[in-house]
Amino acid sequence: MNFIFDVGNVLVDYTPVVYLRSLFTDESVVSKMLKVIYKSPEWLQMDEGILTHKEATEVFCTREPDYQAAIIKVMQNFDKTFTPLPETIKQLPKIKKSGHELYYLSNIHAEIRDFLVDTHDFFNLFKGGVFSCDINYIKPAPEIYRHLLGKYSLNPKDCIFFDDMEQNVKAAEKEGIKGILFKSADCILEFI
């Protein structure tokens, strides 16, 4: 069996609000940064690989010049947003030891991809995977699932996909992949 994992909120914690609160004590600034950065179309464009981190930062600063210092602070310290989820990470060697292969499938932009892969050894356990920024498609687009399956010659019937977003799970199921809505590492155990 092939175990396919989303990255954010499955392998690593991704909670922008917590990160923003670690940078700013003023809740109005936290709310503004959530809107300006994380809920912007540019954030998705970075995930799609059509806009760089630097280009997005420039757009945000141009759009909200009064918040330029805050925007730069958020964008320069983005690595603090992502910390490994130990309960999931400790399952990865067990999955491998049981004879299964590991893959990742994540909406993520290039700078975050590079940081995560360079910083966390658990990525060495994966046979491979697809980051959205590398192929210009984001989940739940069917093309991203098809790309993963094609790249590694995977039969969808032999794959289980774990994601914290229901729309992404449903999209995987439309491609013939067994989808599991990830709520905790416990949902992995029954398949090992």
pLDDT of residue 78: 81
pLDDT at position 77: 87
With a cut of 50, which residues of the chain have pLDDT below it? Answer: none
Q: Are residues 72 and 137 in the same domain?
A: no
Q: Which helix (H) or strand (E) holds 69?
A: helix 68-76
Over the stretch 26-77, which tens digit does the pLDDT of each residue have? 999 999 999 999 999 999 999 999 999 999 999 999 999 999 999 999 999 8
User: Structural domain of residue 114, as residue ranges?
Assistant: 2-13+82-189
Residue where a domain terminates, one of 51, 81, 111: 81
Which pLDDT score is estimated for 190? Answer: 87
Secondary-structure breakdown of the chain: helix, strand, coil percentages, each rounded to the nearest 5: 55, 15, 25
Q: Are residues 108 and 146 in the same domain?
A: yes
The per-residue pLDDT for 192 is 85
Angle between helices 142-151 and 166-174 (to 10 degrees): 60
67 plus 92 within the same structural domain: no
Question: Domain boundary residue among 24, 47, 81?
Answer: 81
Task: Find the angle CA(83)-CA(86)-CA(91) to the nearest 5 degrees.
Answer: 130
What is the distance between the alpha carbons of residues 9 and 106, in angstroms, rounded to a whole number? 11
pLDDT score recorded for residue 80: 77
- Please report, to the nearest 10 degrees, the dihedral formed by the alpha carbons of residues 91, 93, 98, 101 taken in order: 100
Residue partners of 97: CB distance under 8 A and separation at least 6? none
How high is the pLDDT of residue 2? Answer: 98
Q: Are residues 92 and 175 in the same domain?
A: yes
